[in-house]
């Protein structure tokens, strides 16, 4: 099940990554004059695949990379991913260590994407600064960067997107998979209201604009904080 608040943000993030890659020097290698050799670049991805958020982020990035490769005849991207261990099993800079290992193993890295703390982001930035000062580091989680910190080539892509953008991106993913019917599960407001119905209507309109998919069923469940066994309830 795709969570409507998480997948769109990740999808927006990877699309921005690909746009950044285009803007940072691939014009020459994407040129038709270089069609004799296929140029392949790598995106280093570090997420927690044990979490729902991490799995959805990875899926969204895989979709975007696939779409990018279909649209780009001369330059291809591949994802080099690493799944983080549980926080209590890894070092405080485990994500940075994993990213640096992948950068060392693979040539032509075009971007680093993942869930990093500020400390990890600084470590990665310092590591990539000398060989390539323009290599973008995209953080998928919210990190507060002090205003007085040295300039870092860091971009943040978190869940602070408008509802309209979230609906559109979710519709794009559904369109990508060509799912004809969709079951919408959503968390109700404190008391079921026209706002909940409005969201379903907006989602339905977004689906019509992006694909031929329809909302076959929709079901609202009580606020998570009001449930004693929320995970068990959602599974049912």
Sequence ranges of the domains in the chain: 7-156, 163-235
Could you tell me the pTM of the whole model?
0.57
Same fold across 7-156 and 163-235: yes
At 140, is the pLDDT very low, low, confident or very high (cuts 50, 70, 90)?
confident
Asked if the model's pLDDT at residue 180 lies above 70, the reply is yes
Q: Which CATH architecture has domain 163-235?
A: 3-Layer(aba) Sandwich (3.40)
The CATH homologous superfamily for domain 7-156 is: Response regulator (3.40.50.2300)
Is 113 in a helix, a strand, or coil?
strand
Output DSSP code: residue 115.
-
CB count, 10 Å around CB of 235?
Answer: 8
Please state, in angstroms and rounded to a whole number, the distance separating the CA atoms of residues 131 and 108: 11
Judged against a pLDDT cut of 50, whether residue 6 lies above it is answered with no
Confidence band of 29 (pLDDT split at 50, 70, 90): very low
Confidence (pLDDT) at 1: 38
Distance CA 159, CA 145 (A): 17
User: Which carries the bigger pLDDT value, residue 173 or residue 217?
Assistant: 217
The separation between the first and the last C-alpha atoms of the chain, rounded to the nearest angstrom, is 12
Alpha helices, DSSP H, located in 114-162: 118-129
Burial 197-227 (b: 16+ CB within 10 A, else e): eebeeebbebbeebbebeeeebeeeeeeeee
Q: pLDDT: is 29 or 124 the higher one?
A: 124
């Amino acid at each position: 099940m795709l969570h409507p608040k998480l997948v769109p943000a990740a999808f927006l993030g990877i699309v921005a990554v690909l746009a950044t890659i285009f803007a940072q020097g691939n014009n020459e290698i994407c040129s038709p004059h270089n069609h004799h050799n296929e140029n392949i670049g790598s995106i280093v991805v570090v997420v927690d695949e044990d979490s729902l958020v991490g799995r959805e982020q990875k899926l969204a990035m895989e979709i975007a990379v696939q779409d990018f490769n279909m649209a780009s005849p001369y330059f291809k991207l591949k994802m080099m991913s690493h799944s983080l261990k549980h926080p209590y099993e890894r070092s405080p800079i485990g994500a940075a260590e994993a990213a640096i290992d992948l950068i060392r193993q693979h040539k032509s890295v075009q971007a680093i994407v993942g869930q990093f703390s500020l400390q990890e982001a600084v470590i990665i930035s310092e590591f990539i600064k000398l060989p390539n000062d323009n290599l973008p580091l995209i953080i998928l989680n919210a990190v507060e960067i002090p205003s007085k910190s040295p300039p870092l080539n860091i971009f943040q892509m978190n869940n602070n997107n408008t509802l309209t953008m979230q609906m559109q991106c979710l519709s794009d993913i559904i369109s990508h998979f060509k799912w004809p019917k969709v079951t919408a599960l959503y968390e109700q407001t404190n008391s079921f209201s026209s706002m909940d119905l409005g969201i379903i209507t907006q989602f339905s309109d977004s689906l019509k604009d992006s694909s031929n998919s329809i909302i076959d069923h929709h079901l609202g469940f009580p606020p998570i904080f009001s449930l004693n066994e929320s995970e068990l309830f959602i599974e049912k």
